[in-house]
């Protein structure tokens, strides 16, 4: 055992043993345990090929297409843009020639990489996980240090199995108390972002602690960690516990037999020591959190569903006032308007934030025996093949279909529309995804972020709705 007596954080317990070496300027070369690659990785493989480099540890990588694939069927030829089609094809080609394990489009286990890695037991406590996608923080729900990287860094990891990082600061967000009726993990993270701002955690790794977090399921923990990046955080993490171990047990890529016992011995020590010092600590109370909805073009533009579109005259600075006016013009909203008066055209239930089975159950509960409002186009895009299959076993697909939803194939889909699944210009979408940026779901699209239950409520009423009135 190390003789260090100083209590340390969960983050340090993961960071320290992964440091291969430190540079004079403080940057550390971190060893990567798991590298997830998706169909946006072609530029990184191209960088590798230009230098005639091989993948150093293909068994530590894992690939699946999710961004560029069709969700109406599984035929890649239905993606009309040849460049987009080529992205999904390139991943299969690159994974094959680099000997990287790969779940292709025809594989029943395919799905959004941040949904299937946990599903398969690839995301494990105490590990460093990277992916060329900013929502990699999702895997922090398992007590891993997981973060998104750019294409050059993807190439760097492929070639060296390491990545250079400046040591981030630590931010603890502690939430206590029971969640109210209709309040979900999505509302927790939206409330956090509203509280600290979209830049609130820049330079920090967030550890979520407290009774409220402890009581969340793995699926809910993933939703919270997933959107750490929307608060500016490098990563988000939750200490592993019995909930985590139960999830991992018997998963295909999780350790088994003697390896499981050895892993458990390590995992049981992965918590922040009592008295460990964080650079910053924030306390919140679960009872203060309502069902939340965004009204603007940053996830920090978020309010309880009972709220009103803000008044620009209330802004503290001229820059903020101008920004508010611009946002409201883009979103076609009026200052002071009740959020529940906002009519919607589209509903998107899915994404790496909210595309898991519990999300679909939560939405189906609201949708059951109701019908999608006239003029609203509503989609459910399961996060993975196994999520879709499980939903069909439970009959959730029939509930959605009977209500007038489209029941589609797994993928990133309308979260960012890279495969062509877009919200048309000028139309408004109630979305369970993670970003409401200008043009995020398609040029001119208007996005309101919310939980699956809230999106389901919006689908059946045709406007933003307080789900508590329907349950």
Partner 1 sequence: MEKFQTLHSVMLPLDMANIDTDQILPARFLQKPRANDFGAYLFTDVRHDGKGQRRPEFVLNQPQFAKARIMLARDNFGCGSSREHAVWAIFDGQFRVVIAPSFGDIFFNNALKNGLLPIRLNPAQIQQLFELVQHDPQTVCQIDLVQQMILIGTVFSATFEINAFSKHCLLEGLDELGYTLKLLPQIEAFEKSRSL
Instruction: List the one residue from 10, 144, 146, 155 that touches partner 1 (CB under 8 A).
Output: 155
Strand partners, 61: 35
Comparison of 23 and 285: residue with beta carbon closer to partner 1: 23
Query: Considering only 102-110, 115-123, 317-325, 393-401, which stretch makes contact with partner 1 by CB under 8 A?
Result: 317-325
Q: Is residue 132 a contact point for partner 1 (CB under 8 A)?
A: yes
Cβ(22)–Cβ(139) below 8 Å: no
Size of the site for partner 1 (CB under 8 A): 68
Closest by CA position to 323, among listed 295, 294, 293, 297: 297
Q: Is residue 329 a contact point for partner 1 (CB under 8 A)?
A: no
Q: Is residue 269 a contact point for partner 1 (CB under 8 A)?
A: no
Any residues with CB less than 8 A from the CB of 180 and at least 6 apart, and which?
286, 287, 289, 290
Comparison of 286 and 449: residue with beta carbon closer to partner 1: 449
Query: How far is it, in rounded angstroms, from Cα 129 to Cα 152?
Result: 16
Q: Is residue 256 a contact point for partner 1 (CB under 8 A)?
A: no
SS3 of residue 214 by DSSP: helix
Tokens encoding 428: 């408004």
Query: Considering only 256-264, 373-381, 435-443, 460-468, which stretch makes contact with partner 1 by CB under 8 A?
Result: 435-443
Instruction: List the one residue from 3, 59, 83, 242 that touches partner 1 (CB under 8 A).
Output: 83
Instruction: List the one residue from 24, 59, 258, 336 that touches partner 1 (CB under 8 A).
Output: 24
Cβ(306)–Cβ(314) below 8 Å: no
What is the secondary structure of 345-411 as a DSSP string? SEEEE-HHHH-SHHHHHHHHHHHTT--PPTT-EEEE--SBHHHHHHHHHTTHHHHHHHHT-EE--SS
Strand partners, 294: 302
Query: Considering only 162-170, 185-193, 215-223, 334-342, which stretch makes contact with partner 1 by CB under 8 A?
Result: 162-170
Q: Is residue 298 a contact point for partner 1 (CB under 8 A)?
A: yes
Cβ(44)–Cβ(132) below 8 Å: yes
Q: Is residue 421 a contact point for partner 1 (CB under 8 A)?
A: no
Task: Give the number of residues written for the chain.
Answer: 471
Least distance between partner 1 and beta carbon 57 (Å): 8
Query: Considering only 27-35, 107-115, 306-314, 451-459, which stretch makes contact with partner 1 by CB under 8 A?
Result: 27-35
SS3 of residue 283 by DSSP: strand
Contact residues for partner 1, defined by CB under 8 A:
20-21, 23-27, 29, 31, 40, 42-43, 46-47, 51, 53, 67-68, 81, 83-84, 86-87, 132-134, 147-153, 155-156, 159-162, 164, 166, 168, 198-199, 202-203, 229-230, 232, 234, 298, 300, 319, 322-323, 326, 416-418, 425-426, 435, 437-440, 443-444
């Amino acid at each position: 055992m190390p003789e260090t007596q100083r209590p340390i954080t969960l983050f340090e317990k993961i960071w320290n043993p992964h440091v291969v070496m430190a540079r004079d300027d403080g940057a550390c070369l971190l060893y990567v345990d798991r590298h997830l690659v998706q169909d946006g990785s072609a530029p990184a493989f191209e960088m590798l090929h230009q230098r005639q480099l091989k993948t150093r540890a293909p068994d530590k990588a894992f690939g699946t297409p999710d961004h560029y694939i069709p969700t109406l069927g599984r035929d890649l030829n239905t993606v009309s843009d040849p460049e987009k089609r080529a992205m999904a094809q390139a991943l299969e080609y690159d994974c094959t020639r680099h000997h990287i394990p790969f779940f292709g489009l025809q594989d029943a286990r395919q799905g959004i990489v941040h949904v299937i890695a946990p599903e398969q037991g690839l995301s494990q406590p105490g590990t460093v996980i990277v992916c060329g996608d900013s929502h990699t923080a999702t895997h922090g729900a398992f007590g891993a240090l997981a973060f998104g990287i750019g294409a050059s860094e993807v190439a760097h990891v492929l070639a060296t199995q390491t990545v250079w990082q400046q040591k981030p600061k630590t931010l603890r967000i502690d939430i206590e108390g029971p969640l109210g009726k209709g309040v979900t993990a999505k509302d927790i993270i939206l409330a956090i972002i509203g509280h600290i701002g979209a830049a609130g955690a820049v330079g920090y790794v967030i550890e979520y602690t407290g009774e409220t977090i402890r009581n969340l399921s793995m699926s809910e923990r993933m939703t919270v960690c997933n959107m750490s990046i929307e608060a500016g955080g490098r990563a988000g993490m939750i200490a592993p516990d019995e909930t985590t171990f139960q999830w991992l047990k018997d998963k295909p890529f999780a350790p088994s037999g003697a390896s499981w016992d050895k892993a458990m011995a390590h995992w049981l020590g992965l918590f922040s020591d009592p008295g460990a010092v964080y650079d910053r600590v924030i306390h919140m109370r679960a009872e203060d959190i309502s069902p939340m909805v965004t009204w603007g073009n940053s996830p920090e533009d978020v309010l309880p569903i009972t709220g009103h579109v803000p008044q620009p005259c209330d802004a503290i600075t001229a820059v903020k006032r101008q920004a508010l006016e611009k946002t409201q013009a883009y979103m076609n909203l009026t200052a002071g308007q009740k959020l529940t008066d906002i009519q919607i055209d589209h509903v998107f239930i899915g994404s790496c934030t909210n595309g898991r089975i519990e999300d679909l159950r939560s939405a189906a509960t609201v949708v059951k025996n109701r019908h999608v409002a006239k003029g609203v186009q509503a989609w459910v895009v399961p996060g993975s093949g196994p999520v879709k299959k499980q939903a069909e076993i439970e009959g959730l697909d029939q509930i959605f279909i009977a209500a007038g939803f489209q029941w589609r194939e797994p993928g990133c889909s309308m979260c960012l529309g890279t495969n062509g699944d877009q919200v048309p210009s000028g139309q408004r979408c109630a979305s369970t995804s993670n970003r409401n940026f200008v043009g995020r779901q398609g040029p001119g699209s208007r996005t309101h972020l919310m939980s699956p239950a809230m999106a389901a409520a919006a689908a059946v009423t045709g406007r933003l709705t307080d789900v508590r009135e329907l349950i």
